[in-house]
Amino acid sequence: MELKGCGQPWFEMQIEYNEKVGCCCYYKFEKDNLTMPLDIDRYWNGDYMKQLRGTIASNNADGTGCEGCQYIKYGTVSGFTTIPEGLTKIQSDNWDSALTNYHKKEMVIDSYPVKYYMNFGLACNLNCVMCSQEDMRHTDRRQLPVEPLRKLKDYLVIANEIAIIGGEPLMIPNSRKFIETVINDPDYSNVKLSIYTNGTLLHNYIEPFKNMKRLGICISLDSVGEAYEYIRKGARWQNTERNILNFKETGEKYGLDWNVSIAAVIMKSSIPRMVDFVDWCIENETPVHFVPIQKQGFTQNEEVFNYPELLDDIPDWEDIFDTAIEKLKNKGWIAGAANPLTIMKDEIKTQALVPRGEALFSTGDIEGALKLFIEVSEKDPENVTAINNIAVSHWQLGNTDTSMHYFLKALKLAPYDRDTVINCGKILISLDQPEDAKVLYLSYLQKSPDEEISELMACLEG
Ligand code: SF4
Ligand code: SF4
């Protein structure tokens, strides 16, 4: 995967409630550990950030935390390339230096973050069907502390933007305190405050927000009407819609540089009314960007990317995508909207070949199945299920070396994919390499206990 276009490690610092520091939401490996008091200089030119800059500069994600990055895959990388009008001199000088450092791909840089992204915690007033935080929310109640952030004022006021996220940042006590700090201190008046919110509590803030000249609200909204209420459990469509429209009207009325954008998740329940949703966004001039549901297996009723058979209930789903894409193209919303939707539609179509191949395999048509699995892996080279299935098919056909090649490829992409680990171990055993199988099983078991793998391991030890 090429990493051209990612400028995150030169422009953005993300500070998180879970005591981590990074520069984006998509990095797969551990981020830097956050210790207080927060020392921006130390983190910004620390080993973690330098290593990331090196990865981007090398334009090679293989084996790094950037491998498979969604930001790059769906083309939703945020642009830092144009400095807007109206910044203070110190803000634009800093951004200008950041651009120079980025273009030269410097590892140690003399500019400071242009954007700070602060994740205050997991608390939320909703219970959305696809929320990836739901399980953790009840056990992890940490919040990003406010005082150390207040002490960073000299750094924060030279940035272009401070973005606040949760959970729901308009209900988390510490994020509310920090938002109040920013909106009540005139030194922040030229900084853009961005709030990533579900929008249900926005009415409480429209008045106090009037202090901010520059304000961006990114609303998590995936559908309209009843479909919205089904997805965003606990929210009422009428109220959220009214909050968004009131916010827009207030900004316009007072001549403020306020904008609303929409972040929409593609999942099973957001597809049937996708066209109405796109119409709503267009009618209300609220630009939308689409992201796929998190593909981690805990939202299987909604996860159409790995489970395309869920779309059997929506036979016209491709037409729905096509109509929505056409409307977005006509509107000129291409980069974050029409393009990712097109990529996602193709991805689902490709993934749907996997169960078809598996059905052929189960009827004994191994050659036919193999063709489909190969087609999937050519279109989606990081599709671990397809690669694992290619390996199994080759094994069935007696092509041992080719089979092993594909298993190793699948393991490289997903070292802890259960099916791949089990199948690969069995083949190693049949090739009289039980020690290698043991190492593989042991490494899997250290990560996650599993009865079947424990039994396989016990057989090897016995
Ligand atoms: S994971 Fe993606 S967004 Fe993050 S630094 Fe790597 S390429 Fe950039
Ligand atoms: S609004 Fe966001 S954080 Fe809250 S439950 Fe929904 S998805 Fe989760």
Give the pLDDT band of residue 420 (cuts 50, 70, 90).
Answer: confident
Nearest CA to ligand 1 atom 6: 66
pLDDT value for 297: 54
pLDDT value for 341: 97
Distance, CA of 216 to CA of 169 (rounded, Å): 14
Minimum mean pLDDT range among 57-71, 272-286, 443-457: 443-457
Who has greater pLDDT, 177 or 65? 177
Q: What CATH number does the domain located at 8-351 have?
A: 3.80.30.20
Give the pLDDT band of residue 23 (cuts 50, 70, 90).
Answer: very high
**Residue 201: nearest ligand to its CA?**
2
Distance, CA of 53 to CA of 13 (rounded, Å): 13
**Residue 231: nearest ligand to its CA?**
2
Q: What CATH number does the domain located at 364-461 have?
A: 1.25.40.10
- For the cut 90, the answer to whether the pLDDT of residue 300 exceeds it is no
Q: Is the peptide bond before 37 cis (omega within 30 degrees of 0)?
A: yes
Average pLDDT rounded to a whole number, residues 430-450: 84
Average pLDDT rounded to a whole number, residues 402-407: 92
Measured from the Cα of 6, ligand 1's closest atom is: 8
Residues with CB under 6 A from ligand 2: 124, 126-128, 131, 133, 167-168, 198, 220
**Residue 55: nearest ligand to its CA?**
1
Average pLDDT rounded to a whole number, residues 108-128: 97
Nearest CA to ligand 1 atom 8: 6
Two structure tokens written together for 177: 């305190």
pLDDT value for 299: 60
Give the pLDDT band of residue 291 (cuts 50, 70, 90).
Answer: very high
Give the pLDDT band of residue 419 (cuts 50, 70, 90).
Answer: confident
Two structure tokens written together for 435: 């020690």
From the CA of 228, how far away is ligand 2's center (Å)? 13
**Is the shortest distance between the CB of 24 and ligand 1 below 6 Å?**
yes
**Is the shortest distance between the CB of 80 and ligand 1 below 6 Å?**
no
* HEC profile of the chain: CCCCCCCHHHHEEEEECCCEEECCCCCCCCCEECCCCCCHHHHHCCHHHHHHHHHHHHCCCCCCCCCCCHHHHCCCCCCCCCCCCCCCHHHHHHHHHHHHHHHHCCCCCCCCCCEEEEECCCCCCCCCCCCCCHHHHCCCCCCCCCHHHHCCHHHHCCCCEEEEECCCCCCCHHHHHHHHHHHHCHHHCCCEEEEEECCCCHHHCHHHHCCCCEEEEEEECCCCHHHHHHHCCCCCHHHHHHHHHHHHHHHHHCCCEEEEEEEEEECHHHCCCHHHHHHHHHHCCCCEEEEECCCCCCCCCCCCCCCHHHHHHCCCHHHHHHHHHHHHHHHCCHHHHHHHHHHHHHHHHHHCHHHHHHHHHHCCCHHHHHHHHHHHHHHCCCCHHHHHHHHHHHHHCCCHHHHHHHHHHHHHHCCCCHHHHHHHHHHHHHCCCHHHHHHHHHHHHHHCCCHHHHHHHHHHHC
Domain boundaries, the chain: 8-351, 364-461
pLDDT value for 61: 85
Distance, CA of 420 to CA of 406 (rounded, Å): 10
CB neighbours (10 Å) of residue 151? 13
Digit-coded pLDDT (tens) for 189-224: 999 999 999 999 999 999 999 989 899 999 999 999
Sequence-ordered list of residues with C-beta below 8 angstroms from that of 299, at least 6 positions apart, any chain: 129, 130, 132, 267, 293
Digit-coded pLDDT (tens) for 43-100: 999 999 999 999 999 998 887 899 888 888 887 666 798 999 999 999 999 999 999 9
- For the cut 90, the answer to whether the pLDDT of residue 440 exceeds it is no
In this structure, which amino acid lies at residue 197? T
Distance, CA of 433 to CA of 129 (rounded, Å): 45
Digit-coded pLDDT (tens) for 306-316: 889 899 999 99
Digit-coded pLDDT (tens) for 102-113: 999 999 999 999
Give the pLDDT band of residue 340 (cuts 50, 70, 90).
Answer: very high
- For the cut 90, the answer to whether the pLDDT of residue 326 exceeds it is yes
Who has greater pLDDT, 424 or 287? 287
From the CA of 127, how far away is ligand 2's center (Å)? 6
Nearest CA to ligand 1 atom 2: 69
Is the distance from CB of 273 to CB of 225 less than 8 angstroms? Answer: yes
From the CA of 220, how far away is ligand 2's center (Å)? 8
**Is the shortest distance between the CB of 286 and ligand 1 below 6 Å?**
no
Nearest CA to ligand 1 atom 5: 8
Is the distance from CB of 396 to CB of 423 less than 8 angstroms? Answer: no
Digit-coded pLDDT (tens) for 356-381: 999 999 999 999 999 999 999 998 88
Measured from the Cα of 24, ligand 1's closest atom is: 4
- For the cut 90, the answer to whether the pLDDT of residue 389 exceeds it is yes
From the CA of 427, how far away is ligand 1's center (Å)? 35
Distance, CA of 172 to CA of 256 (rounded, Å): 26
CA distances from 71 to 75, 350, 433 (A): 6, 20, 40
pLDDT value for 136: 87
Count how many residues are written for the chain: 462
**Is the shortest distance between the CB of 49 and ligand 1 below 6 Å?**
no
Q: What is the mean pLDDT of the chain?
A: 92
